[in-house]
Amino acid sequence: MGTRIYECISRIAERIIDNKEYLTELDREIGDADHGVNMARGFQAVLEKVPQDSDDVGAFLKKTGMTLLSTVGGASGPLYGTAFMEAGKAVAGKERLEAADVPAILDAAIAGIQKRGKAAQGEKTMLDALIPALETYREKLESGSDLSEAMDAACAAARDGVEFTKTIRATKGRASYLGDRSIGHQDPGATSATLIMEAVRDFLRG
């Protein structure tokens, strides 16, 4: 199942841009109402700046990360920037993105986010979607599921992670200033991370 990376990133960009208002509204409740605007601006820049004819998935993801880093801003810009750059290193030199690469990409992205943002699972961040998604993907493969079933389950786990963020207090980032008042609200970054995962799933499905 080989696939073209520019198409994949276009699907992600489309999903983020379509959900710009939604992500911004979530950030209005526990942040500063810019997450959707920031992310849409970043992915718009990616569509414009990253070469369409790339045949090196690693270099493409690295360039995507650098573009996000310099255009998204806020806390999430450096975090997603690092995530995509680290993901690029995990698939350096590969000509095609394949479903089988998903765990290595997710693992590298999570490590990059954690190195940069020093958050753990349960702090009401994007990690509350991404970590369960990776764990579920691996569990599914170990128990004999195929790649597409594993990806479906990973996306469902990310969605559950988003629901879980409603029940917990933020202890990292801007939302942490609210303390207990952040409880009851959905984390914008966990939501955008899930939208990205779902766009990749839909792309890999073809």
Ligand X SMILES: Nc1ncnc2c1ncn2[C@@H]1O[C@H](COP(=O)(O)OP(=O)(O)O)[C@@H](O)[C@H]1O
Closer to Mg ion at the Cβ: 74 or 132?
Answer: 74
Closer to ligand X at the Cβ: 27 or 86?
Answer: 27
Closer to Mg ion at the Cβ: 35 or 62?
Answer: 35
Is there binding between residue 34 and Mg ion (CB under 5 A)? yes
Q: Which residues bind ligand X (CB under 6 A)?
A: 27, 31-32, 34-35, 38, 74-76, 79, 113, 117-119, 125-127, 172-174, 187-190
Is there binding between residue 32 and Mg ion (CB under 5 A)? yes
DSSP labels for the chain? --B-HHHHHHHHHHHHHHTHHHHHHHHHHHS-S-HHHHHHHHHHHHHHHS-TT---HHHHHHHHHHHHHHHT-TTHHHHHHHHHHHHHHHTTT-SSB-GGGHHHHHHHHHHHHHHHH---TTSSSTHHHHHHHHHHHHHHHHTT--HHHHHHHHHHHHHHHHHHHTTS---SSGGGGGGGGGTTS--HHHHHHHHHHHHHHHHHH-
- Give the shortest CB-38-to-Mg ion separation in angstroms: 7
Q: Segment contacting Mg ion (CB under 5 A): 20-28, 77-85, 132-140, 165-173? A: 20-28
Closer to ligand X at the Cβ: 10 or 192?
Answer: 192
Q: Which does 75 bind (CB under 5 to 8 A by kind): ligand X, Mg ion, none?
A: ligand X
Number of residues that bind Mg ion (CB under 5 A): 6
Is there binding between residue 177 and Mg ion (CB under 5 A)? no
Site for Mg ion in 57-86 (CB under 5 A): 74
Cα torsion through 75, 25, 128, 15, rounded to 10: -90
CA gap 165, 22 in Å, rounded:
16
- Give the shortest CB-190-to-ligand X separation in angstroms: 6
Q: With 0-12 CB in 10 A as exposed, 13-18 as middle and 19+ as buried, what is 192?
A: buried
Residue nearest to Mg ion (CB): 31
Q: Which does 113 bind (CB under 5 to 8 A by kind): ligand X, Mg ion, none?
A: ligand X
- Give the shortest CB-73-to-ligand X separation in angstroms: 7
**Which residues make up the interface to Mg ion (CB under 5 A)?**
27, 31-32, 34-35, 74
